[in-house]
Amino acid sequence: MAVRGEPYAGLNLDDDDDDDYYDDPNSNSDHFSNSNPNKRNPEIRVINVFDSISTAKNRSVVRHGQLRYWKSWRQLALVLMGCLVLSLVVVWVYPSAEVQPASKPADGNPADHNDTPVVDNDPNTEHIPDDHIQYPSFAIQHPHFQILNAERIPEYGATSTLYRHLGTHAELLSITWDDPLSHDDEHVFSVTFRTPPADDTGTPHILEHSVLCGSRSYKTKSPFVDLLKGSLQTFLNAMTYPDRTTYVVSSRNGVDFGNLVRVYYDAVFHPRAVLDPNVLLQEGCHVEFGEEGVSEEMKYSGVVFSEMRGVYSSPDSILDRKSYRAVFPDSIYRFDSGGDPAVIPQLTFEEYTAYYHKYYHPSNSRIYFSGNDDVTARLDVSHEYLQEFSLKLESRIASHIEYQPKNIKVPQSLRFPYAADSETSTHYYTLNWLLNDQPLSATQELALIVLDHLLLGTTSSILYKTLLESGLGTSITGGGLGDGLLQFTYSVGLKGVKEEDLDKIEALVLTTLEGVKRDGFGAEAIESAVNTVEFQLREFSGGSNPRDVSFMLQTHTKWIYDVPPMEALKFEKPLAELKALLLKAPKSLFTSLVQQYLLSNNHRVSVELYPSSTYEEEQHGDEQKRLRDFAEKLSDSELRTVKQKSMELKTIQSTEDSPDAMATIPTLSITDLNPTNTEYPISVQENYNDEHITYITHELGFTSDTVYINYGVDVESIEFADVPILLLFQMLLMQTGIEGEYTDVELDQQIGIHTGGIRVSLLIESVHQESSPDGLIVAEGDYFTTRLFLRGKAFTRNVDDLTSLMHKILTKANLDSQSKALEILKKKISDMSQDITQSGHRYANSRLKARYSVWQYVNEHVGGITGYQELKKLLALVENDWGSVQQRLLDLRTKILEHRDGTILDVTGDTQVLQTVQSTINNFITTLPGDRKLEPYRRHLDGERPHLWATAARERMEQNTPILNECFVVQTQVQYVGKGGKLYDSKESYSGVVDVIAHFLQTGYYWETIRVLNNAYGAFMVYMPSDGLLNSLSYRDPNLLKTLDAYNNVPEELSRAVQNISSGNKQYVQTLTNAIIGTIGDIDGPGRTPEEKGWIALLRWMKGSTEERRQRYRDDILKTNIQDFLDLASRLANRSNSSDFSVAVVGSNDKCQEAIDAGMDLKLVPIE
């Protein structure tokens, strides 16, 4: 949940359809069934040998082998004795770590980690290491940095060295990998500042945006965007948390990485933003005026303002914020670091710059590097920027985060409205605890993480199951354990609650917890939870971010609170301690935690959101009043000045950067690019061992004794009318238990005990026709593949259990529970309803594609607006005619298991893993369902003939998604505006050059017009080459018609670009080169995990995407020229205003009606 540690960040708005050239390993997949989808990676630490600033004052301690001044010899003697004891403790805590004390400063005076050290604050002072100190060989010494800690982290095959810059006390963590190839040569750099908010103006968030808008050495208006245009970056972003701001970049290209590091260093320490008030006006908030007069039609505008209006339009987001802030009444966490739209306009330039100077100083920074680049070079470039500053310890002290006392003695209740239509009557409700007001030990933290998994981690966990099966709401909310900040919280509740049921939820939660305290958890439940958490720790997949970026973010969960950063990643010792405690007291350990942290903890607040049909109008009225009050306080001349500044801002925003400014931005050349694609190994054996099974393996480098198995069955044999039943079947498989063997709870426990997770996903992908040439030809939408996959992973010792469970789930899952079917459907519908409001761009994109391609319609029928509507129909059918639905489920399973020829078994692992599991795989294959004697009813690739669903799907497509302009009306203050369609017809040749031009427009014209000038949070262009589709979309957009105008002007913008390139304008010539480089960077992407590599290779094979096709596409990109721009401009001019293109908007009724009143042909479709 966002307020529990997830950041406000520049959203990656690319919504590629995992075409042949952009590999999204997570496409069309569900969360692991035995892990809470709301959870982040567990955050672990061990004993803290650092002291925080608050506890360092007036305390006689030893830290890092350094002494403070002491008042008496007696005191010194006592401390020396304590030093001996502490050294023994450190050896006990880190028996295998190579921990060395930090050396003394050059002048020999003692220093302390957190208090003012006795060193020469001249940043040019060199540190001369003492000869007698033995540092590990990997700990590179540097004259301007002091080594605080150096150790190996065997859990992740890493070595770490923590440095302190002598002149500023900036801390720098340097990570190298034992096996760099397993990390795909990824380099990561970040600078993080503690940035506690003092109010709801969103100052930390606005600064996060602002400091990337030009700097002392990089003088364009937005070097951040200039880097997006022409970098090979695999991650380029900044993130605002409730108490810190992180600027992070990563790249797999060494030259590019060096450029990114310098630009980001210059941005955070020398930003234009603190000198130019226009940056605050643009990124934060400013007043815009209508055409009729200086005080007519005033409105607030600004990038962060628009972003947060979108956030505050979502009931889920509002509930998160209200719930979290409720348990922090006296802490900095009571403020929204992202900003409240009602308060953001109050921020002044003076307050904004004062905040920057207070917290954006090296003394308050944490700097991070990882990869296998030269460590000395890391330290050299860091010193180059840090040496301009002297020590400013007050910056670090002022940013210290204080604990919120657990001072709520009587549980409290709060109520807040959310915007809803007059027919909405459902409420949201959470129960929220603050768990601790002093540091937890590593073992305590791990125990709470396991407890959270026992309570809410799976659909069969006791608290999750009890709440959802109660019928009091439609979906679980709250997210459980919040473990990403200084203090842990716990939040759980329901959404979709009737008003008369609100009082029952708290009683049900507390009664369930009382039952847990009384009865405890079963041995298998505990074993399952511990094994699941342990597997996640050992695998460390990275989640939605590149793995190495997630590694960096994990270190900050402790480092930012003055705990050694690598403590966040060490888990062996606390895991061993937890297991030892469980052997001694398997039942009482977790029951005591429930009693201590939940039942006996009165620092508890319930939060209710109630629907209000007038709330949105009231918000708008309040905003208009604030604007009127603002205008009334100004004289006519002052008001004209405000308007003049607004007009000047528009002029600045629309003015191109000068050639001199552009020349300051570092660039790559085409020769810096890898001319060939990254390929992953694949071995395909059709009709393996005459079993009519296609067996596929991916032999990779080291996979940590883990095997990844994908078991897929063809579902084409079912009728298209049964696709909603197929979705229900997919959702039921993991949640109903195994006939005659396991209940749903027991199945989850077996999965947790023996595997790293099993999930079920429906894959729908277009394929290249077998008869098509090897060239780049737009596919006919009738050719696609549909497979139901079970995807699982386990250590090799458990592969028998993994394959056995996968077989039982597919063949013997219980399908007889109407109540479970109703529960699942209600939750899915509720979640989709909120997702449409929060991620409307995805649904607009899906709708656009569904109008022009049969297979894309099938996707939309499953997961888009049509899918949402179909699920609501299915819910009514399950409620009223369960008997027929159950029979259809049983018939469907029989049908899809009848044939073997479409079955795929895909296995990924290293050489040793594949050899170890081979006999088990062979046995598993012999037990798979399906008649071997049946003649193959199709080939393994669906490109031989049209899909059997194609005819029926085309009929439904013409009925449900006709080519017309639609606005899907939801309760929101922002829009998601889409326009797109057929750029190429079926069987036409396509080219990679369109990707280059899309990148050029997205990072140039769209950014400057839709984001900067018109204040949408983002805008982007999505190209689906094998379908011939091109869509433009905006995100959290205050506009509708202005954005469509921008889309319509693309042909003219391309023609203008061609004129500039043809005239020899160096700036535009470089922009073309940058677009090529940036596109290649997008295609190559970040380093991948073993699981991702295997899945990507499998997808490519299933789609019939050959290495030759992919290389030809890459070659097209590298050869893009201005004629390609002219050709696309001409094609777009001819198509974008015809029936080949159409509009899909998710937005407010007012904005859509405004477009209709302006003459636009737009159909309103309410989303209920």
Q: What are the residue numbers of the active site? A: 208, 283
Could you count the other beta carbons within 10 Å of the beta carbon of residue 235? Answer: 20
DSSP for 1119-1153 reads T--HHHHHHHHHHHHHHTTSTTEEEEEEE-HHHHH
Residue corresponding to tokens 């208090």: 115
- Please give the DSSP secondary-structure letter assigned to residue 1103: T
Identify the helix (H) or strand (E) that includes residue 880. helix 865-880
Q: At 345, list the tokens.
A: 């306009």
- Please give the DSSP secondary-structure letter assigned to residue 502: H
CA distance 869 to 858: 14
Length of the chain: 1168
Could you count the other beta carbons within 10 Å of the beta carbon of residue 353? Answer: 16
- Please give the DSSP secondary-structure letter assigned to residue 335: S
User: Pairing between strand 1029-1035 and 976-982?
Assistant: antiparallel
DSSP for 611-665 reads EETTHHHHHHHHHHHHHHHHHHTS-HHHHHHHHHHHHHHHHHHHSPPPHHHHTTS
Residue corresponding to tokens 């903890």: 601
Could you count the other beta carbons within 10 Å of the beta carbon of residue 565? Answer: 24
> What is the residue type of 195?
T
Q: At 883, list the tokens.
A: 């008997």
CA distance 334 to 605: 13
Identify the helix (H) or strand (E) that includes residue 1032. strand 1029-1035
Angle, helices 523-539/442-456, rounded to nearest 10 degrees: 120
- Give the largest Cα separation in the chain, rounded: 93
Long-range contacts at 276-280 (CB < 8 A, ≥ 24 apart): 276/214, 277/349, 278/648, 278/649, 278/652, 279/210, 279/213, 279/214, 280/206, 280/210, 280/347, 280/349, 280/352
CA distance 1120 to 323: 52
Distances (CA, A) of 867 to 86, 451, 849, 863, 921: 62, 36, 14, 5, 36
Distances (CA, A) of 735 to 689, 758, 892, 945: 34, 12, 18, 36
- Close Cβ partners of 1124 (under 8 Å, ≥ 6 residues apart): 991, 993, 996, 997
Long-range contacts at 526-529 (CB < 8 A, ≥ 24 apart): 526/450, 526/454, 526/582, 526/586, 526/590, 527/749, 527/752, 527/753, 528/34, 528/748, 528/749, 528/750, 528/751, 528/752, 528/753, 529/450, 529/453, 529/454, 529/457, 529/752
* Beta-ladder partners of 1141: 981
CA distance 324 to 241: 13
Q: At 981, list the tokens.
A: 């369609």
Residue corresponding to tokens 């004390």: 101
Residue corresponding to tokens 């969103």: 202
8 A C-beta contact, residue 765 and residue 1099: yes
